[in-house]
Amino acid sequence: MIEILTIGLNTFREAIRSKVLYLILFFMVLMIGSSFFLETLALDGGDRLIKNLGLSTISFFGLLVAMFIGVNLIPQEVESKTIYTIVSQGVQRWQFVLGKFLGLILTVYVNIALMTVMLLGILLYYFATTDMIEGVTFFWMIKAIFMELLAMLIVVAVAILFSSFSTPILSAVMTGCVYIIGQMTNDFWDYIRLQSEKQGTEIYCAFLKVIYYLCPHLDMLNLKKQVVHFEELGAAAASFPYGAGAFHAITYTAVILFIACLAFSKRDF
């Protein structure tokens, strides 16, 4: 356990000392900040833009960290030869992989915490200037961000998995693809149904279905629609299946990490 923790904290330290992280964070902060001005310009008298853009930014931030920092973590350790010394001092390879995961998720969470504070602050300020204090909005935002944290488990684990056996660029591309498909599995399913009604598409549809089942269902963890439209949706919004989403996130992450540990243990250096 101490091995996983030590490697995790070291990874966290590496991330927070890297320029890439601050570059990504800078743009995300810029985006959240600009949502305020866009909202005041939009004149729709609501808070949709801030909520929408804010949540998207948080989700997108996790993806960028996974794609630009996460996929490099393991290849870098091979390059710098540190993995050799770590393994030769008795650390198991699976401990190494889990340590990397821990460090990366910690990085993402700490930064999401910062962005959340900023986002809620902006929302509060916006309400104060427009005289529309709405406690229930904050409640929805917190719930949405919490589900987003669960989604990040999946994204980060996927990045670690790809990087445990492939090159950073390929891993980044694959992680991006998984994220995009994962965000729209519902639409993807509709598309498959539509296709399967046509003639001679059996093989194509079977292929799509494999992808559908392999990809994580990130839209099970996406509360954006509920946050923005909770008034209109009413009971439908309140009945969001949190438990199923959380269960999916945790089991999917566990399986992915298991495969990553296995792949990394079998690997030659």
Partner 1 sequence: MAVLKTENLTKIFKKGWKEAKVALDGLSIEVQEGEIFGFLGPNGAGKTTTIKILLRLLKPTSGRAEILDKDLATAPTRLRVGYMPENPYFYRFLTGEEFLQFYAKLNHIPSNQRKKRIDELIETVGMNHARNVRIRDYSKGMVQRIGLAQALMHDPKLVLLDEPLSGLDPIGRKEIRDLVYALKEQGRTIFFCSHILSDVQDICDRVAILHLGKLLKLGSLSELLGTEKDRVEVELKMPEGTTKESLGIQGDFHNGIFKTMLDNTEQANQFLDQWKSKGAVVRALIPQRKSLEELFVETIRAQDPKVALET
Footprint of partner 1 (CB under 8 A):
2-3, 6-7, 10, 13-14, 17-18, 79-82, 84-91, 268-269
Sequence-distant (≥ 6) Cβ neighbours of residue 57 within 8 angstroms = 28, 31, 32, 35, 115, 119
Shortest spacing between CB 75 and partner 1, in angstroms: 14
- Closer CB to partner 1, residue 95 or residue 253? 95
Shortest spacing between CB 78 and partner 1, in angstroms: 10
- Closer CB to partner 1, residue 17 or residue 136? 17
- Closer CB to partner 1, residue 76 or residue 201? 76
- Closer CB to partner 1, residue 89 or residue 199? 89
Q: Let me know if 184 is exposed, middle or buried by CB neighbors in 10 A (0-12, 13-18, 19+).
A: middle
Provide the 8-state DSSP code for 44: S
**The pair of three-digit structure tokens given for residue 45, joined into one six-digit string:** 């008298």
Shortest spacing between CB 103 and partner 1, in angstroms: 12
Say if residues 245 and 222 touch (Cβ distance below 8 Å): no
**The pair of three-digit structure tokens given for residue 212, joined into one six-digit string:** 């559908």
- Closer CB to partner 1, residue 2 or residue 41? 2
Rg of the Cα atoms in the chain? 20
Shortest spacing between CB 7 and partner 1, in angstroms: 8
Please state, in angstroms and as integers, the Cα–Cα distance from residue 259 to each residue in 86, 92, 106, following that order. Answer: 21, 15, 21
Say if residues 44 and 134 touch (Cβ distance below 8 Å): no
Shortest spacing between CB 194 and partner 1, in angstroms: 41
Residue found under tokens 């399967």:
196
